[in-house]
Structure 1
Amino acid sequence: MADPNNTKPTPLSQFCLFKSLSYSLFEDDWVNMVESWQSMVAVNAPIPEFTLNMVPFFANAPRLLSVFYRYMNYAEKDPEFLSTLTTVLMSTPLLIKVQHILHSADLFKDYVIALKLDNPSASHTQVMQSLQTFLQGLPEGMRLEIQKVFAEEEASDSMGKFALCFTPTTLDTALQLLHADTQLYIDILSTLQLNQNENMPWDAVVDKIKTLVLAKKANAWPGVEQFLSSLHWAPQQQEVAKQQDMDAENDDDNVLEMVEGVDYYPDEEDEQELGSFPEAEEYDQYYADFLQDVQEIQANRVMDDFSKLGTTDSRHAVESW
């Protein structure tokens, strides 16, 4: 019987590790984990350092650590394996969606094989041909659902400033407007990408989508047109809302100020002291009076004596807690 420690883990096994790990983390923690992983790959970090940086993300799933250690041990022996592991990690969210659609262990295994994740020499064309062969063997409804997931993923990746608008709620709204016509929905998502991928003007993109909708679901166009308008202006609205939030924070009297790295909280006595200083025109008169006092001191030639005087501040010191 082969020693599991010396057997190269399959992409399916790698997926099972990352899927289980993703379920043990909050969404933000998963994002942080992926970003940390990418950072380690980018700097070509030594495997021991790489492993050490990833271990904290397994705090909620310690049972997975032994598997992770074994995989990283294999990556130390085979640099190409780390590349495969990274590809599987980045594909995990999409793989989870497809697994739910297929709802069959055998079909999902065939799907992972079709992706050729463990074949770094496979070209994009070869992968797409392999994938199309797999999809053609599926029932039409299941195939459309997978193509829908692909289209959503591609749109989210390529829509630039609009990407943040592609939330599950937004996408569900678009599909409902099309009366659940999945193929039309896929066609629209593909057309939307022309704005970023081919620099097609937004108005031209809208015209192409209008042609598609009127040809298949004419009564859906008013709702789709409104949806496209809200999608187009969403980034600007988000920026305005963000700026308003920042302005509100800056106007907050209780905002924490950072002074030379020291946390500073407004103190009541300090505020009263600051409030005692004159402002604007009153300050100009205050400053003029001050200069006049200085001139009188100089005129009376008391500067030598003045420099010898000591000053004592009788106010209580304000302690910082």
Structure 2
Amino acid sequence: MADTEIPSPYSQFCLFKSLSFSLHEYDWYNFVEQWQSMVNVNAPLPEFTYNLVPFFSNARRLVPVFHRYMGVAHHQPDFLNTLTTVLMSTPLLIKVQALLRSPTLFSNYVVALQMDNPSASHTQVMQSLQNFLNQLSAPTRLEIQRVFAEAEASDSMGLSSSTLEIAYRVLHSDTQLYIDVLTTLQLNQTRNMPWDTVVSKIKTIVNAKKPYAWTSMDQFLKHLHWGYYHEQYNYSNGAEEYGGEYDQGEYYESDDIVEKLEGIDYQPDEQDEQELHAYSHGAGASNNINSQFSPMSSTAAISNGNNALGTSPGLAVLEDFAKLSVSDKRHAVESC
């Protein structure tokens, strides 16, 4: 891929997904926080890059790709907005990808989001997304809508994955009822609806479909209101969610993965290998990185590109990723 060619959102997602697999949960959270802080202050692009490169220490094969993307952002400042949008959407994208179980469908989903179209209105994106959802089977569409509802609830109320799982079980794993309850629950935050009114609405919804679940749901709502379920919300991608093997310090090193970073047919080119060799060998490798990403006076137009769909901690919907064994990490090529 030429240095000036703009990478697709799919390619950007593959970069961030691969990086997330190389980091512990806390480090991934810090990466996102630092990215956001640099965007929020319109940091000069070289300084922006310099502060983020250390997070690639366990994913050295991705450094040349990240370097190339920053080069694109230097020539196309709006590209950084797209990168930010994709980054903030990565956890949600991973969950949707696992549910769709089809590279073609997932690619179509990414296209429907129009993350690389800054002129697309919210209405246009929602219409495009609805057109995509209409192509799915009813069970798959419902599961995707569940992921969206969880993302919105986590975004607006800070609900953790474990709290969401409790709510789902309290409702006897009725997915549509669960979605309806989450949507209503958010009215306390999104529309400043009094808590008692929200509880009354939820009671009506639950009693209409599963009246025997109301006693447990009522107790859940009381605990939620009293802060019983309060947890520190992290931009999470830990072992529980990805099915990875993080125990006893084991985690995936993306340096061992030949990543598919430009769509389904991507293969590392000669430039990738040359850059990788330069970064991976010799005592001066780290100095070379620092010299190429050292802060300087140039600036880039960076704006907050938060995705309207939001982000959230996930539930146990990523069991497929448990297949990425430590002994044969090249299976990850097929996961993106």
In the alignment, does 2:201 pair up with 1:208? Answer: yes
Q: Give the equivalent residue in structure 2 for 1:311.
A: none
Q: What is the Cα deviation at residue 169 of structure 1?
A: 1.9
Q: Give the equivalent residue in structure 1 for 2:35.
A: 37
Kindly tell me: are residues 221 and 29 of structure 1, through their superposed partners in 2, closer, same or farther at Cα, counting changes over 3 Å? same
Task: Supply the AA of the counterpart residue of 1:175.
Answer: Y
Q: What is the Cα deviation at residue 175 of structure 1?
A: 1.1
Pick which of 19-28 and 108-117 moved more: 19-28
* Superposed CA RMSD: 1.5
CA distance in 2, matches of 1:169, 1:46: 39
CA distance in 2, matches of 1:134, 1:55: 36
In the alignment, does 2:5 pair up with 1:12? Answer: no
SS at the partner of 2:3? helix
| Superposition map of 1:202-241 within 5 A | 202-234=195-227
Question: Which among 164, 170, 188 is matched to residue 177 of structure 1?
Answer: 170
CA distance in 2, matches of 1:233, 1:100: 34
Pick which of 71-80 and 193-202 moved more: 193-202
Q: What is the Cα deviation at residue 5 of structure 1?
A: 2.0
In the alignment, does 2:101 pair up with 1:103? Answer: yes
Q: Give the equivalent residue in structure 2 for 1:298.
A: none
| Superposition map of 1:28-177 within 5 A | 28-159=26-157, 163=158, 166-177=159-170
The number of residues matched between the two structures is 232
CA distance in 1, matches of 2:214, 2:228: 23
SS at the partner of 1:180? coil
Kindly tell me: are residues 26 and 238 of structure 1, through their superposed partners in 2, closer, same or farther at Cα, counting changes over 3 Å? closer
Q: Give the equivalent residue in structure 1 for 2:24.
A: 26
Question: Normalized against structure 2, the TM-score is what?
Answer: 0.67
| Runs of at least 5 residues in structure 2 that lack an aligned partner in the other structure | 233-336
* CA deviation vs aligned residue, 1:74-93 (integer Å, no higher than 9, x gap): 00000110100110011101
Contact 2:86 / 2:115 at 8 angstroms: preserved in 1?
yes
In the alignment, does 2:184 pair up with 1:191? Answer: yes
Task: Supply the AA of the counterpart residue of 2:136.
Answer: L
CA distance in 1, matches of 2:190, 2:228: 18
Contact 2:156 / 2:190 at 8 angstroms: preserved in 1?
yes
CA distance in 1, matches of 2:196, 2:20: 40
* CA deviation vs aligned residue, 1:116-149 (integer Å, no higher than 9, x gap): 0000000000000000000011011111111111
Q: What is the Cα deviation at residue 235 of structure 1?
A: 6.1
| Percentage of matched positions with identical amino acids | 65
Task: Supply the AA of the counterpart residue of 2:60.
Answer: P
Kindly tell me: are residues 13 and 224 of structure 1, through their superposed partners in 2, closer, same or farther at Cα, counting changes over 3 Å? same
Kindly tell me: are residues 63 and 231 of structure 1, through their superposed partners in 2, closer, same or farther at Cα, counting changes over 3 Å? same
CA distance in 2, matches of 1:30, 1:47: 20
Q: Give the equivalent residue in structure 2 for 1:254.
A: none
CA distance in 2, matches of 1:42, 1:124: 22
CA distance in 1, matches of 2:73, 2:24: 27
Q: What is the Cα deviation at residue 237 of structure 1?
A: 7.6
Please identify which structure carries the higher helix content. Answer: 1
| Runs of at least 5 residues in structure 1 that lack an aligned partner in the other structure | 240-321
Structure 1 runs (4+) deviating above 4 angstroms are 235-239
Structure showing greater Rg: 1
CA distance in 1, matches of 2:228, 2:45: 40
CA distance in 2, matches of 1:93, 1:224: 28
Pick which of 121-130 and 167-176 moved more: 167-176
Q: What is the Cα deviation at residue 4 of structure 1?
A: 2.7
Kindly tell me: are residues 45 and 199 of structure 1, through their superposed partners in 2, closer, same or farther at Cα, counting changes over 3 Å? same
SS at the partner of 1:87? helix
SS at the partner of 1:44? coil
* CA deviation vs aligned residue, 1:262-286 (integer Å, no higher than 9, x gap): xxxxxxxxxxxxxxxxxxxxxxxxx
